[in-house]
Amino acid sequence: MVEWTDFERATIQDIFSKIDYDVVGPAALSRCLVVYPWTQRYFGGFGNLYNAAAIISNPMVANHGKVVLRGLERAVKNMDNIKETYAELSVLHSEKLHVDPDNFRLLADCLTVVVAAQMGGAFTGDVQAAFQKFLAVVVSSLGRQYH
Amino acid sequence: MLSKREKEVIAEIWERLTPVAEDIGSDALLRMFASYPGTKTYFSHLDISSGSSHLLLHGKKIVLAIAEGAKDISQLTVTLAPLQTLHAYQLRIDPTNFKLFSHCMLVTLACHMGDDFTPVIHAAMDKFLSAFAAVLAEKYR
């Protein structure tokens, strides 16, 4: 089981209570598709991903970004049970979506950058470490059911 | 691969960061030490606590080297030749750590630039830092 310090718990709850999921989700996903263009391979049915402007204004990308962030909220609400919380999603990503688990880390990094840009100086090294630890647990849980 | 426009943007950003090299550099290092404690093992001979003169000096050194490389990205191998030797034969920092530092530098830039750190700039910066790290490790073996 993951051990969370009081600081880490408080930090995660604080960050997620402050961000607008409908802004951060789309921003993180579109950033991922721009910065790591090979991730676009999973979004063939999403229409125009031709350049950064197209990706950032694409409504299907935006929608899916919101889906992802809302999915992340489940881990925020179940920090002591993240592995179990994502068992089904892990199977889905492996068996049905066939997503290389490395991509979870790429999206996590983009989410970190988006939150950092929003929080500015408040996103200190310690806050970053807590946020990244949380995302690392999420990433690991999503990759857990692959075989 | 960096386009001509991307190289210009990168050069311009690092030129603007040169006056605050100390702040940017030490911020990135502190983030790296907090998130990746293993990286501290390379600094056992220095005081790397927040605000220490060692940390500020070292952060400044790194940022100025990156800024120098950014001035003419097509000449990275020439510009970085002395640093390549230093890292390969003396420092021998495991190159995985370059990735960790680069990531923390991106976060520092995001905090510093806010909305100006657009996805396009983020992509260009990531490519530049990856190229920089690759050149730095070239003489390792």
Q: Using an 8 Å CB-CB cutoff, list chain B residues near A55.
A: 119
Is residue A114 domain-resident?
A: yes
Is residue A56 domain-resident?
A: yes
Please report, for the domain that includes residue A128, its CATH number.
1.10.490.10
Q: Residues B15-66: pLDDT tens digits?
A: 999 999 999 999 999 999 999 999 999 999 999 999 999 999 999 999 999 9
CB-based contact (8 Å) between B20 and chain A? no
Domains of chain B: 4-140 (1.10.490.10)
Position A87 scores a pLDDT of 96
Q: How far apart are CA A39 and CA B123, in angstroms?
A: 13
Indicate the pLDDT class of residue B1, thresholds 50, 70 and 90: confident
Domain that holds residue A40: 6-143
CB-based contact (8 Å) between B106 and chain A? yes
Position A122 scores a pLDDT of 97
Q: How many CA atoms lie within 13 A of B22 on its CB side?
A: 9
CB contact under 8 A, A129 and B35: yes
First to last CA, chain A: 21
Nearest-by-Cβ selection for B35 from A56, A113, A128: A128
Q: Residues B36-45: pLDDT tens digits?
A: 999 999 999 9
Is residue A85 domain-resident?
A: yes
Looking at residue B9, its amino acid is V
Is residue A1 domain-resident?
A: no
pLDDT along chain A (147 residues), means of 10: 96 97 97 96 95 97 97 97 96 92 95 97 98 97 92
Q: What ipTM is given for this predicted complex?
A: 0.86
Is residue A88 domain-resident?
A: yes
Position B117 scores a pLDDT of 98
Closest residue, chain B, to A26 (C-alpha): B119
Q: How far apart are CA B53 and CA B132, in angstroms?
A: 26
pLDDT, average across residues B82-88: 95
Helix orientation angle between B119-136 and B53-71, rounded to the nearest 10 degrees: 100
Domain count, chain A: 1
